[in-house]
């Protein structure tokens, strides 16, 4: 079986499992993940942070974004432009509009940000050694390639798997934050 097929099957299985998660679990776990995220020194010290706008059963990021704005730090969100991600800075939630894949994105008038200290990355699954299974479009892997930003995946503990196929273009995470622990892959 090819890696692409294996990844697609794993993606569907784990996404179906995550989508079956109760709203209470999502909200409680997202709060614990936010608390654990605050324990990471380079996150606390970051001046500019990229964050995805959560949808569906993903770890909730709206409270994280509000904390970043309240702290006066630079907050940027991804926007799909052509076939790539571009991070644009927002100063409030009113700078967002519905974009591709029914995800809230920064409006076109928002300033493009080239350098981010930390980027919070969505994931369907992760391995303890930092490999991530995303939605299969490759946007984050292409964007993160060659970037010096600290890459932090937010995930529920049940999304951590022992192993999964990965390719040379798959970007490893610097840190994985779950409701139970913080993992620093080697």
Q: Give the per-residue pLDDT at 134.
A: 84
Domain ranges of the chain: 3-183
Strands 48-50 and 175-177: unpaired
Mean model confidence pLDDT for the chain: 92
Under the banding of pLDDT at 50, 70 and 90, the label for residue 169 is confident
Check whether 101 has a pLDDT greater than 90: no
> Each residue of 127-136: pLDDT tens digit?
999 999 888 7
Contact 132, 161 (CB under 8 A): no
Under the banding of pLDDT at 50, 70 and 90, the label for residue 4 is confident
Q: Give the per-residue pLDDT at 7.
A: 80
Nearest by Cα to 157 from 4, 12, 36, 64: 36
Structure tokens at 23: 């709203």
Pick the CATH number of 3-183 from 1.20.120.330, 3.40.50.1400, 3.40.50.10420, 3.40.190.10: 3.40.50.10420
Check whether 46 has a pLDDT greater than 90: yes
- CA distance linking residue 174 with residue 184, whole number of Å: 6
């Amino acid at each position: 079986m090819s890696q692409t097929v294996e990844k697609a099957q794993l993606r569907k299985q784990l996404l179906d499992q995550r989508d079956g998660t109760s709203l209470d679990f999502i909200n409680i776990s997202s709060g614990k993940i936010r608390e654990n995220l605050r324990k990471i020194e380079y996150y606390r010290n970051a001046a500019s942070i990229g964050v995805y706008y959560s949808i569906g059963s993903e770890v909730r990021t709206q409270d994280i974004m509000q904390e970043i704005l309240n702290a006066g730090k630079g907050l940027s969100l991804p926007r799909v432009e052509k076939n790539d991600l571009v991070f644009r800075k927002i100063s409030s939630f009113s700078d967002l509009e519905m974009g591709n894949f029914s995800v809230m994105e920064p409006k076109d008038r928002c300033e493009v940000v080239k350098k981010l200290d930390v980027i919070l990355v969505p994931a369907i699954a992760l391995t303890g050694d930092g490999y991530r299974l995303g939605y299969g479009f490759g946007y984050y892997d292409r964007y993160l390639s060659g970037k010096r930003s600290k890459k932090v995946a937010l995930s529920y503990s049940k999304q951590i798997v022992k192993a999964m196929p990965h390719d040379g273009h798959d970007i490893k995470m610097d840190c994985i934050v779950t409701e139970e622990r913080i993992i620093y892959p080697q």
